[in-house]
């Protein structure tokens, strides 16, 4: 199940080229700090290629067992999630793979589908475990998360929360529509939405924000849908947190999906804290204290954000 060529066109290799921040500066400036931060947290093309390659032996084992009459390659899987959409944070830790089960094994309950995949993989790889929404296969420094799936009206059913029904535990996803929507958003705003997502995920990991990476991606796209112009990353983060903490609790529907996801509100406190730290950083910057401003941003975005000196 490869993506259409239009969706896999590579963005500029240097994230700083997209962001507009200066790559270096003789005198420390906050923009150069953001530029270095992006180079540290945005995975390279090579990193993405290696992450995809790690999945090959896992899908080969599944194909040999579940499609024994197939002697060559076949479109039985799709690399999805953050790696598929190129919204991961370096270093990449997990790769999501949708694996299409043969018709005779398309279990009615998602739990049964997970057990089928687990039973095949546990005999070939060490440490294979079943999680709530996928089968986890450790592969060196990466984990391949296999999500058994079934075709469903142009989309796919995968194990997940929220569930389509309590009885079966399936959730509807459309990774092709998600990638196309993100690609369109990136083309409209000069590649900035993807960088905002990466920075927000760095914030999420560093601050322990109780919200999923996928929901953050959806919120970032919703934020940019009402944006009057392409934002510089620094301003986009501040305005996103100001917008997000005022967003009422509710649901959000992924592109091409039918299952709405509860956004929740437990993470609003973290958004407020990040907003006020960014405001304090702006105060330091106006006073000419670049290092103090960078230190505040480091508290928000994590150790990958450099502080001059």
Domain ranges of the chain: 45-172, 177-301
Return the CATH fold of 45-172.
Beta Polymerase; domain 2 (3.30.460)
> What confidence score (pLDDT) does residue 168 get?
61
| Residue reference for tokens 């999680």 | 131
Return the CATH fold of 177-301.
Poly(a)-polymerase, middle domain (1.10.1410)
Does 7 score more than 50 pLDDT? no
Does 53 score more than 60 pLDDT? yes
Of the two residues 24 and 207, the one the predictor is more confident about is 207
Does 19 score more than 70 pLDDT? no
**Residue 151 corresponds to which tokens in the numbers above?**
């075709």
Taking the complete model, does pTM exceed 0.75, yes or no?
Answer: yes
Give backbone dihedrals phi and psi of 13, rounded to 5 degrees, phi first.
-70, -30
Neighbours of 258 (CB within 10 A): 14
Q: Cβ distance 34 to 202 under 8 Å?
A: no
d(CA 299, CA 305): 9
Does 161 score more than 70 pLDDT? no
Does 143 score more than 90 pLDDT? yes
Does 38 score more than 80 pLDDT? yes
d(CA 173, CA 260): 10
| Range with top average pLDDT, 29-43, 155-169, 257-271 | 29-43
> What confidence score (pLDDT) does residue 232 get?
79
What sign for the dihedral angle of Cα 180, 184, 187, 191? negative
In the chain, alpha helices (H):
15-19, 30-41, 45-54, 56-66, 81-85, 110-121, 175-188, 192-207, 213-225, 233-244, 268-286, 290-301
> What confidence score (pLDDT) does residue 163 get?
39
**Could you report the per-residue pLDDT of 75-101, keeping only the tens digit for each?**
889 999 999 999 999 999 999 999 998
Does 5 score more than 70 pLDDT? no
């Amino acid at each position: 199940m490869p993506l259409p060529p239009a969706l896999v066109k590579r963005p500029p290799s240097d994230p700083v080229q997209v962001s507009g921040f200066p790559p270096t500066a003789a005198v420390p400036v906050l923009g150069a700090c953001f530029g270095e931060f992006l180079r540290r947290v945005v995975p390279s093309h090579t990193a993405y290629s290696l992450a995809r390659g790690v999945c090959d032996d896992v899908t080969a084992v599944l194909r040999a067992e579940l499609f024994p009459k197939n002697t060559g390659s076949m479109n039985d899987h799709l690399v999805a999630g953050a790696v598929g959409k190129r919204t991961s944070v370096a270093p990449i830790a997990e790769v999501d793979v949708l694996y299409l089960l043969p018709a005779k094994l398309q279990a009615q309950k998602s739990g049964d589908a997970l057990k089928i995949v687990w039973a095949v993989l546990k005999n070939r790889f060490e440490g294979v475990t079943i999680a709530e929404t996928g089968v986890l296969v450790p592969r060196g420094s990466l984990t391949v998360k296999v999500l058994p799936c079934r075709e469903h009206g142009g989309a796919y059913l995968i194990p997940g929360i929220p569930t389509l029904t309590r009885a079966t535990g399936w959730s509807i996803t459309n990774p092709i529509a998600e990638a196309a929507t993100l690609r369109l958003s990136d083309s409209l705003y000069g590649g900035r939405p993807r960088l905002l997502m990466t920075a927000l995920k760095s914030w999420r990991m560093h601050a322990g924000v109780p919200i999923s990476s996928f929901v953050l991606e959806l919120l970032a796209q919703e934020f940019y849908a009402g944006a009057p112009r392409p934002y510089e990353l620094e301003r986009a983060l501040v305005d996103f947190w100001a917008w997000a903490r005022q967003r009422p609790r509710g649901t959000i529907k992924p592109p091409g999906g039918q299952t709405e996801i509860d956004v929740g509100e437990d993470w609003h406190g973290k958004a407020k804290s990040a907003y006020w730290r960014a405001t304090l950083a702006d105060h330091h910057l106006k006073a000419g204290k670049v290092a103090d401003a960078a230190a505040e941003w480091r508290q928000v975005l994590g150790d990958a954000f450099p502080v001059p000196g």
